[in-house]
Amino acid sequence: MLGVIIASSALIISAITPTLGVLWWSSHDPRENQKMFGDPTTPRVVYEGSPSDKTLLPYTENYNVPFDYEGRIDYDILIKKLLPPLFQKKLHDMGVDVETSHMVLLRGFQVAMYQESSYQCGYVIDDDKQVYWLEGKIDKSRIYDVDVFAENPMPCKPNYGSCWCEAQTLAEEELLDFKKTPLTPIEETIVVNYIYDYFKDNTNLNFYKYQVGRYHMDYGNNDVISFCGVFDGKSRSNYFVGSVNLVTNDNDFGMESRLSPLCIIPDDAKWNSFD
């Protein structure tokens, strides 16, 4: 069962910029904000865990709201500054003490246009090597769904990318808690045959030689062979990862710009070709 901590809260921001003047994001009248929190020109953020529990949080080191080149708030940057102390408090309430600097936050799916919102997922690893999964959202004046999970809500699956899978990959690369094992001869043959069929008609890649190894990502399915490898002589994105499902043939392949530490290629690995 997932261990979940959920908070729905409000956020009030004030800031001064040379071009935009004083900006307020709040469901309250700014004059009410001034009565509650003082001078409205003082940049501050209010996280309301409950009506009687208000905490002022700094959101940049110099107390300036980050704006983009068009004078708009960069909510991706803003939420990354707001969430860590909130996660830290929730974890402390769970009996877990971690430094905010150890938290890794990633931007989730967003459309390719400016939005007054942002979604972040991520993780933090405590001193006992326990991974806690983090999630939070911001929408204009609200920061909400600030959650901490004891288990990954959406673990990696073949052919399915997500913010949670990216977080899981980074967490496993940080932990490196696995037994390094190469592909068996049979598994290697299956992977090489799959790559051959996948690229045999691709004239941009089918003249490169390549090596394969085991990609240590546990998809929770014994029918899946996770593999990785490298193309010889390719100048950019010469690494790859993928998987072969022995039952459903629901396979996947993707190019990578770096060799993941989860990829184990034996020193004496064979160089394969498309000849």
Q: What phi and psi values does residue 105 have, to the nearest 5 degrees? A: -120, 140
Share of the chain above pLDDT 90, in %: 51
Q: Residue 234 above 70 pLDDT?
A: no
Q: Residue 109 above 90 pLDDT?
A: no
- If asked whether residues 98 and 68 sit together in one domain, one would say yes
Domain of residue 49: give its range: 4-175
Q: Residue 3 above 70 pLDDT?
A: no
Q: Residue 95 above 60 pLDDT?
A: yes
- If asked whether residues 190 and 163 sit together in one domain, one would say no
Provide the number of structural domains found in the chain.
2
Mean pLDDT value of segment 141-161: 90
The rounded distance, in Å, linking the Cα atoms of 80 and 103 is 10
Residue 259 inside a domain? The answer is yes
Q: Residue 185 above 90 pLDDT?
A: yes
pTM above 0.85, yes or no: no
Domain boundary among 175, 198, 213: 175
Q: Do 117 and 137 meet the contact criterion of CB atoms below 8 Å apart?
A: yes
Domain boundary among 122, 152, 175: 175
- If asked whether residues 14 and 143 sit together in one domain, one would say yes
The rounded distance, in Å, linking the Cα atoms of 169 and 162 is 11
Torsional class of 49: left (φ above 0), alpha (ψ -120 to 50), beta (otherwise):
alpha
